[in-house]
Amino acid sequence: MEWNKLIQERHTSFAWKEEVPSEEIILETLQEVYENIPSKNLMFPYQVRLLRNNDPITIKEIFSICHRNADLDATNDPGNPQVLAPWLLSFSPRSTKDLESRYEKTVKPSDDQIPDIEIGIFCAYMMLSLANKGIQTGNCRCIRNFDRLDEIFKVDDIRFIMGIGYAKDSKVRYNYFDPRVEKEKPIPFAPIDAEVVYPRPKFNDVIRVIKEN
């Protein structure tokens, strides 16, 4: 896909088609990203776990763990339907202390933020690589029970999760089935309206050119 079209096509999805991307295409994308992504000294200080999200009990539990608004009960909470996607990726740190001293014996362990920085890079690659295949994503950090989520994904210290699937029309605010209360609710907002709900800051508030006098 042409670059400008690709970055415009990618969006955070809350509504998923019944069609499920094959495991092969997800693994192919993970391999593609793994082989081409930058990582400090190729240490990969993070772990990624892929879960087929099709067990009703687990779906409800993950959705409940990812409660959107802590100020609202399950009946009134809009929810995070991005985690109802047919596939979920979890991201957590991976110890690389043994690799950090390969060529520099007196090196101090890396800052704890390094895994989060590289996880962010990995996610960006995944979102774009999947969008190039017509597959969309939705990230979630509203995690209310990290310990239980770790148990579900069989890993430690999950930082956030990504839903993966074929998205419905980004211009429509669909309903979805909330397994917590067994009722239909509207998705938080149509993806095309993201900047209405969360206004984008001005370009110059984020990006500036620094010039010497």
Mean pLDDT of all residues in 48-66:
98
Q: Which residues contact 10 (CB under 8 A, 6 or more apart)?
A: 127, 128, 131, 136, 137
Rounded distance between C-alpha atoms, residue 68 and residue 188, angstroms: 10
The predicted pLDDT at position 83 comes to 98
Once rounded to an integer, what is the mean pLDDT over residues 159-169?
A: 97
Q: Is the pLDDT of residue 9 over 80?
A: yes
At residue 12 the predicted structure's pLDDT band, cuts being 50, 70 and 90, is very high
Assess contact for 12 and 191: CB atoms under 8 A.
Answer: yes
Tens digits of residue pLDDT in 116-158: 999 999 999 999 999 999 999 999 999 999 999 999 999 999 9
Mean pLDDT of 178-194: 97
> Which tens digits make up the pLDDT trace of 82-119?
999 999 999 999 988 777 767 677 766 666 788 999 99
pLDDT in the model for residue 137: 98
Average pLDDT of the chain? 94
Percent of the chain with pLDDT over 90: 87
